[in-house]
Structure 1
């Protein structure tokens, strides 16, 4: 049996009872975390007006059964998946799976939600589909080898995410194994996502993840209608692994499948920026609190990162020191360090520091380098921090950023994050929405539960 066929068998053959409750509970928590970001981004992300204008102008904005968080209306399933995926990823505050270096919830949850509302699925069925989608995209991301995939210029959340979205949607649409294999074959033609957005702080990253959610849903829907997709879409001569990586590791796709749950290895973000900045921000905040430093005390900061981190948030360093757009700031280690030093925190509202003299002055003293000691480790998100203050240098190694499975926040902390993001949009309805979302797994019908 091919790799693609075996993954398809897993996607359709895994029952709700086969998945431990701890895994589906975590999927619910991760979905809530994404929804909080989506609600805020629907109202405040600078890219949102253009996306909404596009769906209106092209006739994609017709009424339908599906929820779009942060907007007071419902849409058709494909549009809802596109919008929720785009909004969920726009703040760069959504979860991350370290081993695949991708954001699983942004493509998977919107596709699963649209399919669940389209089919009248229960909350338990929805969460099962989310787990199937997480396992699919995370394992594909690992099999690609993230470093090799990045080196080819691809964005794994958008590429592997398309397959995760197809798996989640296909599960809810009732595909059999052959149908799911066809859905993967169609997804292989749809998977796309470029890192070129880094060149000018473009909004492509947000939209291409929304597209992954929508295209995965479309692939599954085509397969449900009998459309024949390519076979061996993952491992074939012109398949996903060969076409998108120079160093694929196909064994990682199936290793421990159904016993080792990658869903439990997904971390959540405490800061709204690229995950490669987080360990250093953790370290700066810890040192700042310990020593009582102000930004003016700092002579220089050197941040050592994995090569992927340098490529995303540290190079070219002069441009990274002068972040001007929100996307620039989301992918700037110098800006993240400046926020941490100036504010003693880093939240969505701290992007008001972009382009200020204070932030630029601190960022000018930040350097980013590849640290060989961070290569070859299981997780690539650590940092080695060297901070010079009044001629004295302090060195701190942060193995993993906060929010990883070993330091996963408790429910109260995640609820606070949701309220901080969604509260300014939902106002007095915020706590009601939060309670409703916590009850998703018990919902008889997702579409009724969210009305």
Structure 2
């Protein structure tokens, strides 16, 4: 089977009525979750002013028909996709898909939203496009083999995410199967995203995800105007899968397509940090409650992680123990552990502990090691804990962090996270009610107006 053609046919030919209701409901929950992060980041992320100033200076900040979460002005479609993608990913509080080790909503939802507002699409049409985008980027991410993709220094949310954005936008722009394959051909040339941001806590990660959303939208729009993209974009001799991974398995893109919905395997984050820290934070919070521990009681914390987790949040350990910027904190297992033990929680406002002497002292007692029992598993986000406190050693194994499909938050919890993020900000509209109305809205643009 031609992998690219098969995926393109799925993206455009899947009837919205054939998408199960629970899959569409999950998509709406994930859209809402992303919007909460974006609204807060539009005002509160340290990188947002620079992005907005760049767009203004380059003449890209003009008014248009498309919504940007957290801002009153409407923008052109490409700019809106860029901003919503960057804002949505800035807090590192957006959703995750374990098998592909990427964040699906940040590249997909903004491209779908911009295309929906550009074309006058309905809420159901928008949500169906979001689901298609999720399926495309998650399956491509799985086919890359996340460990091999990371080993090459790539950021899968930005790379595979470009294809998901193209699929969601292309569906709403009315592409046929040949046009969608062409959009994928363009996306293959646009997909980019480096892990080098880890070296100095740079802002690249959030911006490159916004770019993935914008580039996917642009690829789909080019195809809608008759632009011819490369054929066999995924499996070709110089295609995306071979160029971006040493261990890719192309058949994973289409295995179970339209029957096994990866959208239902997307998880929501309870903490605003890299997903590889979450299982350990869950365990530390549990121990803190059960054993009535304080920071002064802790003499040593050992955290066992998958090798991907070591690369992202555990090495080099001395640097991770002294996180000073928000990005460094988002990718520091020692910082996350210190916050959990000091505060008994880990929310966005807990980054005020960066540089705190007490937090750094506790982080200095955190060790991270590669636990072989976590290798070769379908889900790589588990953790093993050893905590020495009050003369005792407590051991825990946490197979999966909270928020995964088996513990997916209900509607009240989704709303609670949204409200916790947006409550400190001045409100110009009732975003949550508007988002809840998307399921049946005749017009996305009017629903969010």
Q: Same fold (TM over 0.5)?
A: yes
Q: Which residue of 1 aligns with 2:363?
A: 363
Give 2:24's aligned residue: 24
8 Å CA contact 1:304, 1:371 repeated in 2: yes
Counterpart Cα distance in 1 of 2:121 and 2:391: 62
Find the residue that maps to 1:388 and give its secondary structure.
strand
> Structure 1's 125 and 428: CA in aligned 2 closer, same or farther, altered over 3 A?
closer
Q: Provide the C-alpha distance between the structure 2 equivalents of 1:358 and 1:108, rounded to a whole number of angstroms.
A: 40
- CA displacement, residues 252-281 of structure 1 (integer Å, 9 cap, x when unaligned): 111110000000000000000000000000
Cα offsets for 1:150-188 (capped at 9, x unmatched): 000000000000000000000000000000000000000
Match of 1:424, SS state, is coil
Name the structure 1 match of 2:293.
Answer: 293
Is the 1:70–1:425 contact (alpha carbons within 8 Å) kept by the matching residues of 2? Answer: no
Residue aligning to 1:135: 135
Cross-structure match for 1:442 = 440
Q: Distance in 2 between matches of 1:87 and 1:327?
A: 14
In structure 2, C-alpha distance between the alignment counterparts of 1:84 and 1:102, rounded to whole Å: 17
CA RMSD of aligned residues (A): 0.7
1:415 match: 415
Distance 1:343 1:268 in 2: 21
Cα shift readout 1:370-408 (whole Å, capped 9, x = no counterpart): 000000011000000000013321110000000000000
Q: Distance in 2 between matches of 1:147 and 1:164?
A: 20
For residues 10 and 251 of structure 1, what CA distance do their matches in structure 2 show? 14
Q: Which residue of 2 aligns with 1:276?
A: 276
Specify the alignment match of 1:35 in structure 2. Answer: 35
Corresponding residue of 1:345: 345
Partner of 1:252: 252
Q: When the two structures are superposed, what TM-score results if normalisation uses the length of structure 1? A: 0.99
| Residue equivalent to 2:14 | 14
Cα deviation, residue 196, structure 1? 0.2
Aligned pairs for 1:15-414 (under 5 A) are 15-414=15-414
2:59 partner SS:
coil
8 Å contact kept, 1:279–1:401? yes
SS across alignment from 1:112: helix
The Cα offsets for residues 102-140 of structure 1, whole Å up to 9 and x where unpaired, read as 000000000000000000000000000000000000000
Q: Structure 2: any 5+ residue segments left out of the alignment?
A: none
SS in 2 for 1:435: helix
Are the counterparts in 1 of residues 110 and 213 from structure 2 also a CA contact under 8 Å? yes
Count of residue correspondences: 449
- Deviation of 1:428 (Å): 7.7
Per the TM alignment, residue 426 of structure 1 is displaced from its structure 2 partner at its CA by 4.2
State which drifts further: 211-220 or 419-428. 419-428
In 1: Cα distance, 2:412 partner to 2:228 partner: 47
User: How far, CA to CA, are the matches of 1:54 and 1:257 in structure 2?
Assistant: 40
Of 431, 434, 447, the match for 1:433: 431
Supply the distance in 1 between the matched residues of 2:26 and 2:308 (Cα, whole angstroms): 27
Could you state the TM-score of these two structures normalised by the residue count of structure 2? 0.99
Q: What secondary structure does 1:207 align onto?
A: helix
Q: Does structure 1 conserve the Cα–Cα contact (< 8 Å) formed by 2:384 and 2:398?
A: yes
Structure 1 unaligned blocks of 5 or more: none
- Aligned partners of 2:386, 2:286: CA distance in 1, in Å? 13
Question: Does structure 2 conserve the Cα–Cα contact (< 8 Å) formed by 1:158 and 1:212?
Answer: yes
Deviation at 1:250, TM superposition (A): 1.3
Structure 1 residue 245, shift from structure 2 partner: 0.2
Summarize deviations over 1:64-88 as a string: whole Å, max 9, x none: 0000011110000000000000000
The answer (yes or no) to whether the contact 1:271–1:278 under 8 Å persists in 2 is yes
